[in-house]
């Protein structure tokens, strides 16, 4: 949804997400985005760059939404790390159920339109490093008696498990979140 306060970059990304969910990634071109946004194709290239960079920008844009619910969960539990992890995991899993872009990517609803899937799986480096950085910042105020390397490994494990369940849920979000918090507690408590 385009709002007047959106930057040109945000408008292009928003239009790309809408086109992807409605018509499929294969139908997204810089010319079509330019037409939808009401600018020149060169403006789209100047704002975004290449189509692969657009794909990454779309994923990171959606990631911001997910990290917003993570932040809220940690804010709600400033003294209970495991409740924060549980609620953050549950919120991410619930948010993922209704995310149209995620559904379009995971299900490849438009034929063999799977070009975006590696950004959530085999080429998810940027997504993982961004998510981990936010979780590291959120965990820092808690009293966790682990070495920095151990804490990094624990956070990596939690982020990857949550992402795995986003991609392929195996139980309702509340149950999965409880399991993730249980595992995290065993790893994070000395």
pLDDT in tens, 28-42: 899 999 999 999 999
Mean pLDDT value of segment 117-139: 80
Q: Quick: pLDDT tens for 53-62.
A: 898 898 889 8
Q: Quick: pLDDT tens for 93-115.
A: 999 998 888 877 776 644 445 66
User: What pLDDT is attached to residue 110?
Assistant: 46
Q: How far is CA 2 from CA 8, 15, 21, 105, 145, in A?
A: 10, 8, 15, 22, 45
**pLDDT above 60 for 177:** yes
Q: Quick: pLDDT tens for 62-83.
A: 889 999 999 999 999 999 999 9
Banded pLDDT at 119 (limits 50, 70, 90):
low
């Amino acid at each position: 949804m385009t709002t007047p306060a959106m930057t040109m970059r945000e408008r292009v990304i928003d239009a790309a997400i809408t086109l992807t969910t409605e018509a499929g990634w294969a139908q997204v071109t810089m010319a079509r985005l330019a037409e939808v946004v009401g600018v020149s194709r060169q403006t789209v290239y100047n704002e975004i760059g290449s189509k692969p960079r657009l794909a990454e920008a779309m994923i990171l844009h959606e990631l911001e939404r997910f990290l917003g619910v993570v932040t809220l969960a940690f804010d709600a539990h400033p003294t209970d790390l495991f409740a924060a992890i549980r609620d953050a995991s549950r919120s991410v899993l619930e948010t993922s159920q209704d995310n149209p872009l995620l559904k379009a990517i995971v299900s490849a609803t438009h034929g063999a339109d799977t070009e975006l899937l590696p950004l959530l799986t085999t080429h998810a480096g940027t997504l993982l490093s961004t998510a981990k950085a936010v979780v590291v910042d959120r965990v820092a105020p808690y009293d966790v008696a682990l070495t920095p390397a151990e804490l990094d490994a624990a956070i990596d494990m939690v982020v990857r498990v949550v992402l795995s369940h986003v991609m392929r849920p195996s139980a309702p979000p509340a149950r999965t979140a409880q399991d993730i918090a249980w595992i995290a507690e065993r790893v994070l408590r000395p």
